[in-house]
Amino acid sequence: MSMLVGGWIAIDEVETPFAKTSGALGGSATFTVLAASLFTPVRLLAAIGEDFPTEFRAALGRPNVDLTGLTVEGAETSRWGARYSYDMNSRDTLYTVFGVNAAWKPRIPAGWEDTTAACMSALDPVMQRDLIRALPASRVSLVDTIRFFIDTALPELRTTMNVADFVTLNEDEARQIAGTPSIAKAGRKFIEEGVQGLVIKLGEYGAVYMSKSDYFVAPGYPLEEVLDPTGAGDAFAGGFLGYLDTVTAITPAEIRRALIYASTVASFCVEGYGPARLLTLTRAEVDQRYRAFRTLTHFDVD
């Protein structure tokens, strides 16, 4: 097994009510790769500029992360700046510098044809589905997105959402695309229109999963200190698909396990600035918190 993560690597500047960080390793692919690598070998497909710090490349190059697909292009690394509200449940993007990603054309390295899972972080939706289709051995795929592509490429995004096995959206994104304030109604609409597995991420409240035959609610892990929500949704996606890449068969029960693993990894992510906590996180810590989720949510019927 091995999972390809396609997306952006960036240099972030993030302001929370408690701290401001700049020149930090970021980009959705960063968080997705680090989360997924806790479960399965990962192949990163992304572009950086010549300005990309050596130590950031070293941070990404975890033992089971293959950086062959991380190419240096002739422009600057993407940059992103954002500021969070007091309760950290909302943020404003202050700027996005596309840099190398303005013209990047991803090419899957030779030897990666045996990739078994395709995880598409936010990218141009046509690029996302081309990459999914270019991996014939992949048995599971996921697409995430950001508001930019909802605003500029919605028809293509809707097509791509129906190609992937799983789609992850934020609550606000789901409401925006579906045009309804009800999450349950938005989800049903997506499923009726061809989405196979939909995850709506609820931030600190967890996530809901919907398919034609299932509906599952995964709570958020109760945290006393949230340092930085950046990348939590990307870590969620990476943990989710990373776990699913390792299972014998992708059953409803395994999908539920994957959602709890996803919520678990996301909960660790927000405990550090940028990807700092993910960089020290171990599978044993993940498994311990996974079991705590069970204790948090269990109740008896009879």
- The residues binding its own copies (CB under 8 A) are 17, 86-88, 175, 181-185, 187-188, 202, 204-206, 208, 215-220, 222-226, 253, 256-257, 259-260, 290-291, 294-301
Find residue 84's DSSP bridge partners. 91
Q: Which is nearer to its own copies, 54 or 248 (CB)?
A: 248
Tell me the C-alpha distance between 243 and 35, whole Å: 10
Farthest-apart Cα atoms in the chain, separation: 64
Report, in Å, the least distance between residue 185 CB and its own copies: 4
Q: Which is nearer to its own copies, 75 or 88 (CB)?
A: 88
Report, in Å, the least distance between residue 80 CB and its own copies: 23
Tell me the C-alpha distance between 239 and 258, whole Å: 7
Tell me the C-alpha distance between 72 and 273, whole Å: 26
Q: Which is nearer to its own copies, 62 or 189 (CB)?
A: 189
Q: Which is nearer to its own copies, 117 or 208 (CB)?
A: 208
The 8-class DSSP code of residue 132 comes to H
Tell me the C-alpha distance between 111 and 28, whole Å: 24
How many Cβ atoms from other residues are within 10 Å of residue 70's Cβ?
Answer: 21
Report, in Å, the least distance between residue 287 CB and its own copies: 10
Residues contacting residue 235 through CB under 8 Å, at least 6 positions apart: 31, 32, 34, 35, 262, 265, 266, 268, 269, 278
Tell me the C-alpha distance between 222 and 296, whole Å: 9
Report, in Å, the least distance between residue 86 CB and its own copies: 6
Report, in Å, the least distance between residue 35 CB and its own copies: 19
Report, in Å, the least distance between residue 200 CB and its own copies: 10
Q: Which is nearer to its own copies, 81 or 229 (CB)?
A: 229
Report, in Å, the least distance between residue 258 CB and its own copies: 10
Q: Which is nearer to its own copies, 17 or 61 (CB)?
A: 17
Q: Which is nearer to its own copies, 105 or 298 (CB)?
A: 298
Per-residue CA distances from 74 to 77, 100, 108, 138, 222 (Å): 9, 7, 19, 31, 44
